[in-house]
Amino acid sequence: MSFALSFPVTGKPAEVLELVERPLSNLEGHAVRVRMRYAPVNPADLNFIEGNYGRPSNPPDIPGHEGCGEVVAVGPLVTSLEKGDVVMPLLGAGCWSQYLTAAEHHFAKLPSSIDPVQASMLRINPVTAWHLLNKHVDLEPGDWVVQNAANSGVGRALIQIAKKQGFRTINFVRRAELIPEMLELGADAVFLDTDQGVAEAKAILANAPVKLAANAVGGDSAIHLMELLSQEGMMVTYGAMSRRSLKVPNKHLIFKNLRLHGLWITQWFEKASSAELYEVFEPLAKMILHHELVTAVDCILPMKEHRQAMARAQEASRHGKVILDLA
């Protein structure tokens, strides 16, 4: 038997989520059984439970878009994995369970010595940040990248990955107390997300070209990014934290010929080949091993304290991810 967190109906996560017990299925063919260890609580998970995610849930359903675990058994036809391997599920749901069973191609093997807590947060935010930096414009060492929501999970990963790849970052945050933390993380420059902050960023750039902007907020914050983009620069929108529509001043389309693009990493996963996945996971896993990519953790709570975990994950005052201990 396996315990899992499930929701019978969509609604507020702290109210509808419940701990349930499920039987384990028999292993056949290419099936692999993984003993899950840790899984983060992401905004996408909360939206999935609420019924507000890009892909609709189908209650009763088990949330959990990412996690980390260890292979405990394999089917007779499995060739890529064996008992004891550390893996990351690629299913995109169902990770909030003690055991997860799926075909072997739904798991990515990770280094055995990797920190399982950090590995549990590898699939979404770091991959999104890597994709932003490597799949939209041709950046060269020394190039500037600008972003808002720099203290978010993706924002923090982007700062660290950009530093590793030799790119410089200008980062916008909403609170002044976050600036020292972002600089310590490796940001080259950090400003408040205001008109004054934009003016200060322009002074730092001194007319240096900016090819890429990463937008997770929308509204006026996105306009701040467009102000800094160079001619024919690209703004990639991967979130809408302000819940305000994207506003594009005519002058930026006409005179700058800016390019606007969207990114939902879930769709990319659905189309990516094994080679493309390896291209992303391999360098990111190495960064985690060498402590060059670290995701902040607010607290680690057992499954039985799921109500507290859901409530904490929705608090603005937390200092990192809320992690579920699936033991």
**pLDDT per residue of the chain (327 residues) written in tens, 0 to 9:** 899 999 999 999 999 999 999 999 889 999 999 999 999 999 999 999 999 888 888 899 999 999 999 999 999 999 999 999 999 999 889 999 999 999 999 999 999 999 999 999 999 999 999 999 999 999 999 999 999 999 999 999 999 999 999 999 999 999 999 999 999 999 999 999 999 999 999 999 999 999 999 999 999 999 999 999 999 999 999 998 888 888 889 999 899 999 999 999 999 999 999 999 999 999 999 999 999 999 999 999 999 999 999 999 999 888 899 999 998
Note whether 216 and 302 are same-domain residues.
no
Which of 246, 265, 284 is at the close of a domain?
A: 265
Note whether 114 and 129 are same-domain residues.
no
Full residue range of the structural domain in which residue 213 is found: 125-265
Note whether 100 and 180 are same-domain residues.
no
Note whether 75 and 138 are same-domain residues.
no
The CATH number of whichever domain residue 146 belongs to comes to: 3.40.50.720
List the catalytic residues. 53
Note whether 166 and 244 are same-domain residues.
yes
Note whether 91 and 152 are same-domain residues.
no
What pLDDT score does 310 carry?
Answer: 98
Note whether 210 and 248 are same-domain residues.
yes
What pLDDT score does 226 carry?
Answer: 98
What pLDDT score does 280 carry?
Answer: 97
- Kindly state whether residue 314 falls inside one of the protein's structural domains: yes
- Kindly state whether residue 47 falls inside one of the protein's structural domains: yes
Note whether 135 and 259 are same-domain residues.
yes
- Kindly state whether residue 106 falls inside one of the protein's structural domains: yes
Note whether 116 and 183 are same-domain residues.
no
Query: What is the tally of structural domains in the chain?
Result: 2
Which of 265, 284, 315 is at the close of a domain?
A: 265
Note whether 259 and 130 are same-domain residues.
yes
What pLDDT score does 242 carry?
Answer: 83
What pLDDT score does 8 carry?
Answer: 97
Note whether 112 and 157 are same-domain residues.
no
Please write down the HEC assignment for all residues of the chain.
CEEEEEECCCCCHHHHCEEEEECCCCCCCCEEEEEEEEEECCHHHHHHHHCCCCCCCCCCECCCCCCEEEEEEECCCCCCCCCCCEEEECCCCCCCECEEEEEHHHEEEECCCCCHHHHCCCCCHHHHHHHHHHCCCCCCCCCEEEECCCCCHHHHHHHHHHHHHCCEEEEEECCHHHHHHHHHHCCCEEEECCHHHHHHHHHHHCCCCEEEEEECCEHHHHHHHHHHCCCCCEEEECCCCCCECCCCCHHHHHCCCCEEEECCHHHHHHHCCHHHHHHHHHHHHHHHHCCCCCCCEEEEEEHHHHHHHHHHHCCCCCCCEEEEECC
Note whether 152 and 199 are same-domain residues.
yes
Q: What is the pTM of this model?
A: 0.94
- Kindly state whether residue 196 falls inside one of the protein's structural domains: yes
- Kindly state whether residue 286 falls inside one of the protein's structural domains: no
What pLDDT score does 25 carry?
Answer: 86
The CATH number of whichever domain residue 313 belongs to comes to: 3.90.180.10
- Kindly state whether residue 65 falls inside one of the protein's structural domains: yes
Which of 243, 265, 287 is at the close of a domain?
A: 265
- Kindly state whether residue 129 falls inside one of the protein's structural domains: yes
- Kindly state whether residue 116 falls inside one of the protein's structural domains: yes
